[in-house]
Amino acid sequence: MKKEAGITRDIGNLLGRVSGRPLARRLAMIAALVAAGAVGWIAPPASPVVYAIPVALAAVLEGWIGGFAAALLSSGAAAMLGPHQPVATSILESCVLLLLGGTTAAATAEERRRRQHYQKAARQLSSVYEKVQANFEGMKRAERLSAIGQLSAGLAHEIRNPLASISGAAGILARGQNLDARNAKCLEIITSECERLNGLLTNFLNFARPRPPRLQIVPIEPLLDNVLELASHGVRGKTVRFDKKVAPGLKAAECDPEQLEQVLLNLMINAIEASPDGGTVTLSAACEDNRIAIGVVDRGHGVAPAHIDHLFDPFFTTKEHGTGLGLPVAHQIVRQMGGSLQAQVNHDLGMTFSIVLPAEAHRA
């Protein structure tokens, strides 16, 4: 039984490979008809059974047309090459071959229909599973963000007061007239580090309690122009070229323009820092299924695949002096606007960050 099942499976696999190639299908049917004719001519008594093989094969490979055509050809070959027999017998054999071709074609069509149905169901289940996994990961990230945000807010308020005192005291001492170079340098370091820590605390607070977005209908192209103008000041000696791609007839988006500019500028600066000297950073916008997709593409060193899922986690960074809060804050801002922020590695070089927002008519 196992051997017979294996042979049946091998034949099924062979037919599957042949059915996907039109030339191979026709050659297989011609070869089967020629072989059946040869067997029918050599051994006439076996011809009725032998001619059933190319008929069934043609019905499987070409459906109704192939099955009926092979049945007619087989009937003609049997009449010419087979033994002389009454007309009624020949007509009966032809009818049997036609019935075989039609029955096989109908069974094959039903099997293909069921297979396509199951394949479609499998694709739908796979899509639903991916969405459930994405929602589950989003829920876990939201829980982590909430916990870390509350902790960050408390620490920021506790640290900010003594930090302001230190910065103020350093400023008073710096205004003294009797400071040598060494003490002046120390006070300069204290002041600059206080400013850096204050900026970090500001990021903490923005992450913990970002202000609610003020949604409005905003044309996208002028906003992209503002972002490119602001990003041009962050090149810092690099030779980086900017490329803007906006789809014609682009709809307006429903968003907070100030927050969206903040997010895009952050992504653009990251792309500039990741790009090599002479590289190109592309800022694009297009309409996809009643939503606006804005992309920031660089051709830099990219991110390791193992790090992709952690890019929006708080305090995760691949930069030497990064805080790990820029992308989480951006992700939270975009989510509050009813959109999504995603990252993916390019096929050749660099990264693509995509912001998807509701279009003007999406919530109308």
3-state secondary structure 195-256: HHHHHHHHHHHHHHCCCCCCCEEECHHHHHHHHHHHHHHHCCCCCCEEEEEECCCCCCEEEC
19, amino acid identity: S
308 in a domain, yes or no? yes
Task: State residue 14's pLDDT score.
Answer: 45
Are residues 176 and 247 part of one domain?
A: no
Are residues 154 and 115 part of one domain?
A: no
SS3 323: coil
Last residue of a domain, one of 93, 128, 163: 128
Task: State residue 303's pLDDT score.
Answer: 82
275 in a domain, yes or no? yes
Radius of gyration of the chain (CA): 36
Q: What is the pLDDT along the chain (364 residues), one digit of tens a residue?
A: 444 445 445 444 544 544 445 666 666 666 666 666 655 555 555 455 666 777 777 777 777 777 777 777 766 666 665 556 666 666 777 777 777 777 887 887 888 888 888 888 888 888 888 877 777 776 776 666 666 666 666 666 677 778 888 888 888 887 776 778 888 888 888 888 888 888 777 766 666 666 788 889 999 999 999 999 888 876 666 788 899 999 988 888 999 999 999 899 989 988 888 888 888 899 999 988 788 999 999 988 888 877 787 787 777 777 766 667 778 888 888 988 889 898 888 888 889 999 999 887 544 4
98 in a domain, yes or no? yes
Are residues 253 and 284 part of one domain?
A: yes
Are residues 95 and 43 part of one domain?
A: yes
Last residue of a domain, one of 208, 227, 258: 208
Task: State residue 260's pLDDT score.
Answer: 92
Are residues 38 and 83 part of one domain?
A: yes
Are residues 99 and 10 part of one domain?
A: yes
Are residues 244 and 194 part of one domain?
A: no
Q: What is the pLDDT of residues 180-234, one digit of tens each?
A: 888 888 888 888 888 888 877 776 666 666 678 888 999 999 999 999 988 887 6
Length of the chain: 364
363 in a domain, yes or no? no
Are residues 225 and 353 part of one domain?
A: yes
Task: Enumerate helices (H) and strands (E) in the chain, giving the number of each.
Answer: 9, 7
Which residues have CB under 8 Å from 275's CB, separation 6+? 238, 240, 281, 298, 299, 300, 350
Are residues 53 and 17 part of one domain?
A: yes
Are residues 251 and 201 part of one domain?
A: no
Q: Which residue is associated with the tokens 């739908």? A: 124
Are residues 200 and 233 part of one domain?
A: no
**Residue 55 to residue 38: CA distance in whole angstroms:** 15
48 in a domain, yes or no? yes
139 in a domain, yes or no? no
The H or E element spanning position 84 is none
Task: State residue 124's pLDDT score.
Answer: 87
213 close to 261: Cβ distance less than 8 angstroms: no
Q: Distances in Å between the alpha carbon of 336 and those of 7, 214, 287?
A: 59, 10, 20
77 in a domain, yes or no? yes
Task: State residue 293's pLDDT score.
Answer: 92
| Pick from 363, 357, 364: nearest CA to 250 | 357
Task: State residue 30's pLDDT score.
Answer: 65
Last residue of a domain, one of 164, 187, 208: 208
Task: State residue 45's pLDDT score.
Answer: 52
Task: State residue 160's pLDDT score.
Answer: 74
How many domains does one find in the chain?
3
Task: State residue 298's pLDDT score.
Answer: 92
The HSE-up count of residue 295 (CA atoms within 13 Å, CB side) is: 22
68, amino acid identity: F
Are residues 151 and 81 part of one domain?
A: no
Q: What is the CATH number of the domain that holds 348?
A: 3.30.565.10
| Pick from 77, 109, 74, 81: nearest CA to 95 | 74
Determine the structural domain holding residue 261 and report its residue range: 216-358
Which residues have CB under 8 Å from 45's CB, separation 6+? 83
65 close to 106: Cβ distance less than 8 angstroms: no
